[in-house]
Amino acid sequence: MSAMSTNPEITTAKETTRLQTYVALTKLRISVMVLITFAVAAVLAAHAAGEAMGIGTMFGALVGMLMIASSGNAMNMYLERYTDFLMPRTASRPLPSQRLSSTEVAMFVAVTFGVGVAFLYGMVNWQTAVCGIANWVLYVAIYTPLKLRTPLNTEIGAIAGAMPIIMGSLAATETVGLVCWAFFGVLVLWQFPHFMAIAWMYRDQYRQGGLKMITVTEPTGRVAGLKSVVTAVMLILVSLLPILSLRTPIHAWVFALASLFLGVYYLRAAWAFRLDRNDQVARKLLRASLLYLPAYMLVLILACLT
């Protein structure tokens, strides 16, 4: 046995590096956001139904959701390994950087998908498991290939990105109520200005990678700017729908004012991007999107649960 293999510090460093590589496959920040939206929807649905979600059920639901999301993100990297190699922002991912082989990634995809479906079916319910499989297929088999074919991939991706809300509601109550449908609509619409900003900032890299984003097929950015404004306006309207389920007029008024404030804030950033499309303005729109979503979720939780 070599000296290197018997050195605990070196062995641990190698294992940690490999673990970090597998974690990178999950797109951890995205997976965490998926878990948060899933959990918020589950809590909202359970409260609206007057039910309590057991600790074991919630644990199984969160583990299953994390595994499904991780599998989908890893499969996305597997399918996009060649385009990722062409773009500086993705060239350091495990496959294009050759830190993992295609076989290793495929095995990770299969194991996490199987574990995720098993947890959702065995510890939650069949409705959530079926919705999880549908979400995986929509993201992997439809959205990912469409990125090479049409800018309409964003619409499909927005639906896939919001489906964990439906899954969270199904996990808690086996149904989807008004508040969760509204939350689903908010998350779908929120993604458009958010992604238009990203698509503009990285338009040259997307073009280099052969991805048909709207800022590639229509390079002036006029359509991206218009789409940001239109969806931001629609977002304000949809964000107000939970008012219909709130218990008192005071809750409704406070929620409405807070939602309008956040919506107008997001709309102003989208409008600025429409008027002046440059990287600095796009970055401000991106920051606004990252502030809007957690703030809206907090307002929604406080309005519904207090």
Domains and CATH numbers, the chain: 1-175 (1.10.357.140), 177-306 (1.20.120)
- Exposed / middle / buried, residue 296 (Cβ in 10 Å: 0-12, 13-18, 19+): buried
* Angle, CA of 68, 108 and 148, to the nearest 5°: 70
What confidence score (pLDDT) does residue 11 get?
Answer: 36
Q: In the chain, what are the helix, strand and coil shares in percent, each to the nearest 5? A: 80, 0, 20
Count of positions (residues) in the chain: 306
The helix-helix angle for 102-119 and 8-25 (nearest 10°) equals: 70
CA torsion through residues 190, 73, 114, 112, sign: negative
Instruction: Please give the C-alpha separations between residue 115 and each of 5, 38, 125, 174, 261, in angstroms, as whole numbers.
Output: 32, 18, 14, 21, 42
> pLDDT-based confidence at 295, cuts 50/70/90?
very high
- In tens, the pLDDT along 105-162 reads 999 999 999 999 999 999 999 999 999 999 999 999 999 999 999 999 999 999 999 9
How far apart are alpha carbons 186 and 184 in whole angstroms? 5
> pLDDT-based confidence at 185, cuts 50/70/90?
very high
CA-wise closest residue to 153 among 91, 97, 83, 94: 83
How far apart are alpha carbons 292 and 295 in whole angstroms? 5
8 A C-beta contact, residue 80 and residue 32: no
Look up residue 122 and give its DSSP letter: I
What confidence score (pLDDT) does residue 5 get?
Answer: 40
The helix-helix angle for 178-201 and 153-173 (nearest 10°) equals: 150
Q: Which residues contact 115 (CB under 8 A, 6 or more apart)?
A: 63, 64, 67
How far apart are alpha carbons 172 and 203 in whole angstroms? 40
pTM over 0.75: yes
8 A C-beta contact, residue 242 and residue 184: no
What confidence score (pLDDT) does residue 18 get?
Answer: 86
**Percent of the chain residues topping a pLDDT of 90:** 91
Residue in the block written with tokens 């294009």: 96
CA-wise closest residue to 196 among 227, 155, 175, 168: 227
Q: 292: which 2 tokens?
A: 């809007």
- In tens, the pLDDT along 78-119 reads 999 999 999 999 999 999 999 999 999 999 999 999 999 999
- In order, the DSSP letters of 48-109 are HHT----HHHHHHHHHHHHHHHHHHHHHHHHHTHHHHHHSTTTTTSTTTTTSS-HHHHHHHH
What confidence score (pLDDT) does residue 8 get?
Answer: 35
Q: 73: which 2 tokens?
A: 């993100």
Mean pLDDT value across residues 290-294: 98
150: left (phi over 0), alpha (psi -120 to 50) or beta: beta
Assess whether pLDDT exceeds 70 at residue 271. yes
